[in-house]
Homo-oligomer: A and B are copies of this chain.
Amino acid sequence: MQIYTPPIKDYRFLIEALGCAELFEMEAFQDFDSETLLAILEEAGKFCTEQMLPLNRSADTEGLTYDPADHSVTTPQGFKDLYQKFRKTGILGLCQDPEYGGSNAPYILGAMIGEMTTATNKSFSMCPGLTNGLVEALAHYGSAAQKDTYMTKMISGEWTGTMCLTEPQCGTDLGLMKTRAVPDGDAYRLTGTKIWITFGEHDLADNIIHLVLARLPDAPPGIKGISTFLVPKINHDGTRNSIYCTGLEHKMGIHGSPTCVMTMEDATGYLIGEPHKGMKTMFVMMNNARIAVAMEGLGLSEISYQTAVAFAKERRQMRSLDPGKRDMDHAADCILVHPDVRRMLLNIKATNEGMRALGIWTAMQGDISLHHADEERRNHASDLLALMTPIVKSYCSERGFLNTSDAMQVMGGAGYTADWSVEQYMRDIRIAMIYEGTNHIQALDLVGRKLPASGGRAMRSLQKEITGFIRSCADNEAMNEFLDPLKDASKQLTELTMHLAAEGMKDQEEAGAIASNYLNVFALTMLAWIWAVQIKEALGRDDAYAATKIKTGRYFFHQILPERHSLAAIMVAGKQHMMAFDVDEL
């Protein structure tokens, strides 16, 4: 049984609460307003629920077929048809350049739809997800001719895209890359093996365009010697290029998403951007891709939550511990009378609604940073985007995974079976903590790159945002209940940031040891802030939805935010007890 209601009500609320109307005043987004956004979300949500969700479980069970004879990959039954329908929805080009068929919608819309497509069919959603990444790289670094050749076909979904980064000896450490590219006229010949290539081969589209990182003959060593190439499966003249899928990984989840080993032998490729500047091309895609992963964590957490709630509303076991709540018309009470069942469900609900708000707010900073008329506003938003991206990627993927486990626990044995699919959601989301930069890489990005950049300007931008918000609540007494813990958490975060800066200056290894816990304290503090923002909006309303929102926020402040205490205590313990062991002692 698969259950999903698109969170349109929450999107509607957030568009208001986060002040997204600001976006529609920008020239780039003048064709949009809240209602057009919501209409698109309704449509997309309907498509996800009616078309994508029904193929989710069957794809997991059926999996993929690889034929070594012709290197082909057959996707699960129904995917080909679903893909053609998906193309027609226009989701693929929603946030892309109109010149090539896109709709140039704000990225917040992409983030919201990303939540829904992942929730309803994570495996399938990865194909357009990768294509989008490639389109973005092309939009930034492709030549006019490259854009003409590829972008329209990829935005329409006629062709799909991949990212070929990882090799057997290098995942996190791309500097160890071996794939080489040798100039050959206007093109290059690429040779090497790439692994973990999502939708590297499949039967959904006529052509697959691979974005491949490789080294030119004159490349300097390390990541400063990596260039980016486009390697199409089918050459411009219709011949088959020598890039082949030579195997599929067998994975814990995302069984409908082919994870390919790709082998190139003198494959024809075309340089994108400047030689040796490939990492720059990668970085342009990272913000959006990492926010997308945050929304993935949220998406599977949300569908797991909805499934567990639906189960709990039907399931009757034991009597309420409060005699007044016993339903004597039945032999047992609905399990929602039990406080621990509520505790588990509310842990999910309160973090989900916080993560959704924070993810969309971060995506909005991306929109502002690109399209606001005022340069100062653009820079401010750019700072916030850079700072928050690793935080939301790491926190939402980890919490999303843990939430699927809590949802399973609510359902007991039923949750462990395939019948309700929560076990699939758990398996499918676990990869999000690993890919697109492991969560610790996010923590290192935060402490090593984002915090120190421009003399710590991003953190000051953020503090300005938070103190500005607190000031805006000055005459709002009902907010004090939430502002007090927010101020506490914010003060603690400042202290821990200073601790990190002082220790990290002396010893980078110390910074590395505490980065992951620091990131989580940071995330909790930001969730407290975004919850306060939501509560402020809800307090100004007088409806049932707003009343529930306030209760959920209150739950967050009392039952989730205190998680920061232990993280802080463990963080300041530092590296010494980790580094005390010789390798052989582990």
Contact = CB atoms under 8 A, between A and B. Distances in A.
Interface of A: 166, 169-173, 175-176, 195-196, 249-253, 309, 312-313, 316-318, 320-322, 331-332, 334, 336, 338-340, 342-343, 345-346, 349, 401, 405, 408-409, 412-413, 415-419, 423, 426-427, 430-431, 433-435, 438-440, 443, 507-513, 515-516, 544, 548, 551, 554-555, 558-559, 562-567, 569-570, 573, 575, 577-581, 583, 585-586
A343 B559 contact: no
A559 B573 contact: yes
B566 A580 contact: no
Contacts of A433: 409
A417 B250 contact: yes
Greatest chain B CB density within 10 A among A172, A316, A577 is at A577
5 contacts: A249-B417, A322-B509, A339-B510, A340-B516, A409-B433
A406 to B, nearest CB: 10
Say what secondary structure dominates the interface of chain A. helix
Given A172-B318, A566-B566, A581 B405 contact: no
Contacts of A513: 339-340, 343
Contact of A338 (B321, B512, B583): B512
A329 B408 CA distance: 48
Given A175-B331, A176-B331, A427-B427, 18 more contacts: A172-B317, A172-B318, A173-B318, A196-B413, A250-B418, A252-B417, A309-B586, A313-B583, A321-B512, A339-B512, A340-B512, A342-B579, A345-B586, A408-B434, A416-B434, A551-B577, A559-B577, A566-B566
Contacts of A559: 570, 573, 577-578
B173 A336 contact: no
Nearest to A564: B566
A221 to B, nearest CB: 8
Contacts of A586: 309, 312, 336, 342, 345-346, 349
B580 A551 contact: yes
Question: Which of A439, A516, A578 has the most chain B CB atoms closer than 10 A to its own CB?
Answer: A578
A251 B176 contact: no
A583 B511 CA distance: 45
B554 A577 contact: yes
Contact of A405 (B417, B430, B435, B570): B430
Nearest to A545: B585
A510 to B, nearest CB: 8
Given A318-B173, A321-B509, A434 B405 contact: no
Nearest to A551: B580
Given A343-B578, A439-B409, A565 B558 contact: no
A19 B513 CA distance: 37
Given A317-B171, A434-B415, A577 B558 contact: yes
This chain's copy number in the assembly: 2
* Residue from A316, A413, A555 whose CB has the most chain B CB atoms within 10 Å: A413
Nearest to A440: B340
A322 B504 CA distance: 12
Nearest to A424: B252
Contact of A320 (B408, B509, B548, B578): B509
Given A559-B573, A566-B562, A581 B342 contact: yes
Contacts of A579: 339, 342
A512 to B, nearest CB: 5
A171 B544 CA distance: 35
Contacts of A569: 562, 565
Contact of A251 (B423, B577, B583): B423
A377 B459 CA distance: 61
B317 A176 contact: yes
Nearest to A411: B434
A578 B346 contact: yes
Contacts of A338: 440, 512
Nearest to A585: B548
A583 B439 CA distance: 35
A281 B548 CA distance: 46
Nearest to A318: B173
A223 to B, nearest CB: 11
A372 B176 CA distance: 63
A172 B259 CA distance: 40
A581 B551 contact: yes
